[in-house]
Structure 1
Amino acid sequence: MLTSIGYGQEHQDPLTRLFSPSSDRIYQARQRAAKASRIATQIETNAAVEKVDYSVLDEQATVEMIEPGVEYMGEEPMMMEPAMHAGHQHGPGCESCGTESCGSSCGDCGQCNDCMMMCIPLCFRLNWDDFSLHAGAQGFKNGLNRGMDGSFGYLYGFNWGMPIGFLPKSGLGFQVGMSGSNANLYEASFTDSTREQTFFTVGLFRRVDWGWQGGLVFDHLKDQWYYDVEVSQVRGQLSWVFPKCNELGFQFSASDSEGTGSTTVSVPGANTMQIDETIAATNLYTFFWRRRLDDCGKSMRILGGWTGDSQGLLGADFHLPLTKCLALDTGFTFLLPDQQDGRTQNQEEAWNIGINLVWYPRCGSASGSTSYYRPLMNVANNGDFILRRQ
């Protein structure tokens, strides 16, 4: 019977095991797979076992191949029982697309061999593998459309995730992103102004393969139309990731700062009105189910919840890799309106639908699905940053 006694994984304190870096978790998962193969073969054949091929570990150049304190059996290192957070094990129920379409071929673009370090004022390792650019079209409507014309235009921006350099064993990631939006390009029935928006998102997150994962970000929006306002919100997410393909979680958006201003509106059939009002983000509370569809990064999410004004909320989004470097992101959000503060349901209605082409310079559309530091939260948009008039 094979045994291994040493200062290995099970002797690490729980905090160290919980917050081990992604490279260690990948290494440990591969070691466990190799160990299981050896033991199973020996039990079934009751014969000598050929050496397990550990050359696969050479793909992770940054992984320390043998950790201090791990005892050996012959020439092969043996690891103790795994920690909770193992490598990606999709298991039965996920349809794998195979390695030819999205496996090692994604490595042709190279791994993080040209990471940069930035230490002003905190140290972050800038990993280009988790950087993406997006561009597409969107249609939306919220309280500032005043129950009349919706807004349609185009959206563009970037999202970037990276590990935190001064907390290498925490597993925490840092993300930053920005999106610009141009809509109402041919004016509206009540104003001749085009609508320009700038979204900014920054925050922290932690990804796992099995267990609790979550993040907290700060969103800021500058919205210029027949008014000029700046508002912000805090958005958080907490979910339980199952060891196969499913994830259940909760997400919230809470208004942080409000915008005020004076504006002029020309309502059809009425005189021009001078309006002073306060603009804020709608508080949103949603439960969601995310399903990983295969090992290539395809996923879908369905959500439902309510707002701070007790209105309903429905939505869904999809991530579909097209090539090694391109993916398609699409989704919608719909706020189920009711009469609020003397306004009609049409005036309270809010919705967003969009489609974006996402470019990963380092082939992350497929390999990015296994990265612990790809952004957990999307850059804020009109689906999760819904403006309302107070």
Structure 2
Amino acid sequence: MGCDGCCDSYTPGCDCSGCGNGVRGFLDGMFPRLSVPWNRMEFFAGAAGFTGPMNYADVTSGDQRGSGSFGFYEGFNKGVSLGFFGTDLSYQSGVRFLQANLSGADFTDESRKQIFLTNGLFRRVDWGLQYGLVVDYLYEDWYFRSNLVQLRGELSWKTQHCDVLGFKFATGIKDDDDLTSVVDASGNTISNNIAFDSVNQYRFFYRQMLSEFGSLEAALGWTDDSDMILNLDLGLPVHRNVTWDTSATYYIPDEQASSADFMQEGWNLAFGFTFRPGACKGGRWYSRPLLGVADNGTMIVDRQ
């Protein structure tokens, strides 16, 4: 692969030995240059609207006031090739910051702040067996505070025609409880202790790989409580380094579980851009993170 198709010396199969000619080679000889593995990095930002069981105050048995959430997110994801004992495993680490309900809600004046952390191992291939296992952490500060942890994974098979069939799962490994503080209809502040955790979920999916790191994915799943999950993700290439990303997840509650089904319903709709400053044409980057950083579509929180 020539220099025009090569991002830097970290890219598999790239030979950039001749890229230091001319002015760039002169400057590299005069000044020390910090080598940044840009081809391992993904930076993303956008807007998201979402709701779920935690969007309802529920301070008393008769209080059904709720408020959807809308806000903005930004973050990054990074992959690093490991090569332990001759294996082709890689490590990924990323963070997502989200700010929502900037003007408060019907039952609180507080804005909603979330921090998602994702760390784990994965294997990405040209074709064959792919897999990944990550730990997701969520810190949330709204009318309550929470620290939740879940285990999330993917097992899939990629064909030589860029089709991917697989299975995803997520299971909570740390729940939490906190003292909520909300304002009732009369303007009085009411406190109530609640417990919550992340929903155990299982999804079968199909993914079609597109050019320039793009992809189209559809999934159908369920939870331990017989709820259904529908998901559609689209990464549309707009430049060799940029994709336009849209994600829609719909969490459908079991109608037999509760009379107030709308309080158990959840959805997440996000759209934004992902920028890969060192992306190579064709997407042959084996340490590119397999699993995205968690969000409100992959980590669904419910009351216990």
CA contact 2:212–2:241 (8 Å) conserved in 1: no
Q: State the match for 1:259 in structure 2.
A: 176
* Corresponding letter in the other structure for 1:246: D
Task: Kindly provide the amino acid, as one letter, of the partner of residue 363 in structure 1.
Answer: A
Aligned to 2:222: 306
Bigger share in helix: 1
Q: In the alignment, what sits opposite 2:53?
A: 143
Q: Return the match for 1:315 from 224, 227, 231.
A: 231
Counterpart among 191, 202, 211 of residue 108 in structure 2: 191
Whole-angstrom CA distance in 1 between matches of 2:196 and 2:290:
28
Indicate whether 1:169 and 2:86 are aligned.
yes
Give yes or no for contact 1:340–1:348 (8 Å, CA) kept in 2.
Answer: no
Q: State the 1:340 CA deviation.
A: 7.1
Q: Could you tell me how far 1:272 is from its partner in structure 2?
A: 4.3
Equivalent residues in 2 for 1:1-390, closer than 5 Å: 105-107=4-6, 109-112=7-10, 127-146=37-56, 148-164=66-82, 167=84, 169-268=86-185, 272-293=189-210, 295-339=211-255, 342=258, 344-364=260-280, 366-367=281-282, 369-390=283-304
Over 6 Å off, 4+ runs: none
SS in 2 for 1:346: helix
Q: Distance in 2 between matches of 1:322 and 1:229?
A: 37
Sort the Cα spacing of 1:203 and 1:340 in 2 relative to 1 into closer, same or farther, 3 A: farther
Aligned residues between the structures = 274
Q: 1:115-171 CA deviation, whole Å, 9 max, x = no partner?
A: xxxxxxxxxx98431201111000011111016111000000000001015x16201
Distance 1:190 1:260 in 2: 19
Which segment is superposed worse, 380-389 or 321-330? 321-330
SS at match of 1:322: strand
**Separation in 2, partners of 1:240, 1:354:** 27
> Is the 8 Å Cα contact of residues 127 and 161 (structure 1) preserved in structure 2?
no
Alpha-carbon distance in structure 2 between the residues aligned to 1:261 and 1:297: 41
Contact 2:101 2:111 in 1 (8 A): yes
2:228–2:254 contact (8 Å) kept in structure 1: no
Aligned 8 A contact 1:285 1:307 in 2: yes
Which runs of no fewer than 5 residues in structure 1 stay unpaired?
A: 1-55, 60-103, 115-124
Higher relative CO (Cα under 8 Å, sequence separation at least 6) belongs to 2
Shift of 1:269: 6.4
2:289 aligned partner, one-letter code: P
Please say which structure displays the higher CA radius of gyration: 1
Q: Aligned-pair distance for 1:105?
A: 4.4
Superposition TM-score, scaled by structure 1 size: 0.66
AA of the residue aligned to 1:144: M
Contact 1:338 1:344 in 2 (8 A): no
**Per-residue deviation, 1:110:** 3.1
The 3-state SS of whatever aligns with 1:374 is coil
> What is the rounded CA distance, in whole Å, between the counterparts of 1:254 and 1:218 in structure 2?
10
**Which amino acid counterpart does residue 135 of structure 1 have in structure 2?**
A
8 Å CA contact retained: 1:218, 1:234: yes
Q: Secondary structure at the match of 1:234?
A: strand
For the 8 Å contact 1:179–1:199, the answer to whether it is kept is yes
Q: 1:370 aligns to what SS in structure 2?
A: coil
Q: What is the CA–CA distance in structure 2 between the aligned matches of 1:379 and 1:232, rounded to whole Å?
A: 13
In 1, the alpha carbon distance for the partners of 2:142 and 2:229 equals: 26
Structure 1 SS opposite 2:86: coil
Aligned CA-pair RMSD: 2.2
Instruction: Decide which structure has greater strand share.
Output: 2
Q: Is the 8 A contact 1:106 1:363 kept in 2?
A: no
The 1:262/1:131 distance shift into structure 2, 3 A limit, reads: same
